[in-house]
């Protein structure tokens, strides 16, 4: 279980994030939806201004559901364009070209813009974002077979029954009964201590995850 204060803060933030706006009267094709999303200025007070970052193709088979872009990704305009992205691609067994192929891999974080930095790292994803865009975006990705969940806010959305579980328990539960949604620690260097405390993650979870990814994509991963 999470400490009471942290759990309550996460629950309050998640409640706002999981409260969808009224459904739009029209269903947009993915290209039109992405154009609208990338022009979004819904969140006010973003330190570097709005720059929604995501990747999606209607035929994508894998969804990367992260937290929010970091500062470096915001500046480059490329999701996971940092050391965390390098580690994530190694975990998944994907080359950079495979990872950034929108026809194979969709990248849709809980917050689409860089939220800023707090005392212990990046701030949580803005709660306005997911209610506005997440449901229509996921509905436009009907071919997704495997969802990779990074971080607690994404876990609360995609696996609400595990929102209060520890990360280790959530990952271990997938290892015992692998399903279409797999929770992972965020690949940030800040989480290397967690990985060292749980050696079974690299020894057992990642090999199985890579097998699943290669099966879904029908192609070998990175060498």
Calculate the average pLDDT of the chain.
89
pTM: 0.87
Q: Is the pLDDT of residue 25 over 50?
A: no
| Token pair in block for residue 175 | 């290892």
The CA distance from 217 to 18, in Å, is: 30
pLDDT tens digits along 111-137: 999 999 988 788 999 999 999 999 999
Question: What's the pLDDT at 12?
Answer: 55
Could you tell me the residue ranges of all domains in the chain?
4-16+52-217
Q: Report which secondary-structure segment, H or E, holds 210.
A: helix 206-217
The gap between the terminal CA atoms of the chain, to the nearest Å, is: 38
The CA distance from 106 to 103, in Å, is: 8
Question: What's the pLDDT at 3?
Answer: 46
The domain made up of 4-16+52-217 has a fold known as Uracil-DNA Glycosylase, subunit E (3.40.470)
Comparing 78-87, 124-133, 159-168, 208-217, the range with the smallest average pLDDT is 159-168
3 state DSSP class of 85? helix
Read off the pLDDT band of 84 (50, 70, 90). very high
Read off the pLDDT band of 27 (50, 70, 90). confident
Q: How does DSSP classify residue 189?
A: G
Confirm if 187 and 82 have CB atoms less than 8 A apart.
no
Q: Measuring CA to CA, how many Å separate 59 from each of 129, 141, 210?
A: 24, 7, 20
- Mean pLDDT across the stretch 200-210? 98
pLDDT tens digits along 42-72: 998 999 999 999 999 999 999 999 999 999 9
The CA distance from 84 to 78, in Å, is: 13
Q: Say how many C-beta atoms besides its own lie within 10 A of residue 119's C-beta.
A: 5
3 state DSSP class of 123? coil
The CA distance from 154 to 124, in Å, is: 11
Read off the pLDDT band of 4 (50, 70, 90). very low
The CA distance from 99 to 94, in Å, is: 6
Question: What's the pLDDT at 192?
Answer: 93
Read off the pLDDT band of 2 (50, 70, 90). very low
Q: Is the pLDDT of residue 11 over 70?
A: no
Q: Is the pLDDT of residue 146 over 70?
A: yes
Question: What's the pLDDT at 82?
Answer: 92
Read off the pLDDT band of 223 (50, 70, 90). very low
Question: What's the pLDDT at 1?
Answer: 41
């Amino acid at each position: 279980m999470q400490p009471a204060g942290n759990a309550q803060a996460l629950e309050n933030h998640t409640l706002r994030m999981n409260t969808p706006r009224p459904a739009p009267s029209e269903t947009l094709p993915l290209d039109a939806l992405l154009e609208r999303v990338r022009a979004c200025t819904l969140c006010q007070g973003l330190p570097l201004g709005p720059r929604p970052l995501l990747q999606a193709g209607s035929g994508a088979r894998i969804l990367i559901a992260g937290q929010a872009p970091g500062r470096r990704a915001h500046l480059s305009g490329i999701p996971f364009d940092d050391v965390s992205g390098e580690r994530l691609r190694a975990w998944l067994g994907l080359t950079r070209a495979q990872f950034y192929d929108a026809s194979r891999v969709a990248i849709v974080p809980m917050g689409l813009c860089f939220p800023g930095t707090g005392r212990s790292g990046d701030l949580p994803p803005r709660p306005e974002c997911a209610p506005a865009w997440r449901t229509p975006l996921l509905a436009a990705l009907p071919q997704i077979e495997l969802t990779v969940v990074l971080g607690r806010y994404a876990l609360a959305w995609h696996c609400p029954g595990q929102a209060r579980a520890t990360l280790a328990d959530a990952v271990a539960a997938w290892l015992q009964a692998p399903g279409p949604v797999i929770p992972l620690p965020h690949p940030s260097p800040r989480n290397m201590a967690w990985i060292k405390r749980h050696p079974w993650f690299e020894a057992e979870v990642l090999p199985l995850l890579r097998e699943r990814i290669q099966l879904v994509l029908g192609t070998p991963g990175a060498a």
